[in-house]
Amino acid sequence: MDTINQQVKQNRYRTWFVMSGFTILIAIIGFLIGCIFANQNDYFDIMIPIYTMLGFLAGAAIYSVIVYMSVTNILMRSSKAVQLQESDDPQLFNIVSDLAMVANIPMPDIYLMDDPAPNAFATGRDPKHAAVAVTSGLRKMMDREELEGVLAHEVSHIKNYDIRVSSITVALTTFIAGAGATLIILGVSLMRGGNWMGFFGGNDRDNDSKSSSYFWLAVLGFGFIIWIGGWIIRIIGVPIAQIMQFAVSRQRESLADVSGVNLTRDPQGLIDALTLLKDDTTPTSNPAAKGAALYINEPVTKQGRTPFLVKMFDTHPPLDERIARLKRLLGEN
């Protein structure tokens, strides 16, 4: 069965596709922001948006490398997960160790999220720098066979380099969100500075004071434009980036189910685990976690709802569909 080799090859192409898509998105954002400042005395200076675009691309490259190298720490902090030692949970370590051996990958780090909702995810740059996290709810709910099915699913994400694609998308999405937030904060700071300095400068009537007032009025206007640009990124750029991030998630879940069964040779364990997850309605205590799109099951908020963007863009195939596919595998065996 060459499904696994095909998946690894697909993920290599998908990595380049995602990187290209984000690069184009960041370039467009940088260019549009530059267009705001390109009108010089009724003349549109095309070099300004080009330089702004190049600056955004350079910033994204530097920031993304930094985030990519530390993506595990970022996602685990966001998920409020703590790293476990073997003495903390010998059975959990034994299961992951056996699966890693069968998958022929290094032993990943193991984390525990203090969350009553049953869930799990894998992350990292590559199999040599990978980690698996499970919630306390998942650990309490499932027996060994069911837990092995879930962990095989997550180890498959590591073996098949799904985690590399996820790490890149997390890095670039956080850059775009951070760029929008930075411009908003900078715009507010400039508007406050221009407003106060312009107000005090306007008390004098000499020419120097008037020139100073005009200068601070210009600062106020510049801050407003920066503020608007930041909100454009937050309202338009961030959702587009999240759509691109979520678009990768759907197919990877179904493929990881099949890959996980190849590791355990027992579809029933994952079937039972997914059935438990389907029937569970425990709300997550951390719906805003950056790793939510990577979870084996869609998280549910305290209001009993799936987070809007996760639901809107179908980041996970329906559990019934995944269970039916695994039952077909079980029938073939």
Where is the binding site for Zn(2+), in residues? Answer: 153, 157, 253
Burial 244-283 (b: 16+ CB within 10 A, else e): bbbbbbeebbebbbbbbbbbbebbbbbbbbbebbeebebe
Are 11 and 248 a contacting pair, CB within 8 Å?
A: no
Q: Which residues pair with 325 in a beta bridge?
A: none
Q: Angle 73-152-142 (CA atoms, 0-180°, nearest 5)?
A: 90
Alpha-carbon span 111 to 133, nearest angstrom: 4
Q: Which of 175, 213, 230 is nearest to 23 (CA)?
A: 175
Which residues are known to be catalytic? 154
Burial bucket for residue 167 (CB in 10 Å: 0-12, 13-18, 19+) = buried
Where would I find the beta strands (DSSP E) of 145-218? none
Are 95 and 153 a contacting pair, CB within 8 Å?
A: no
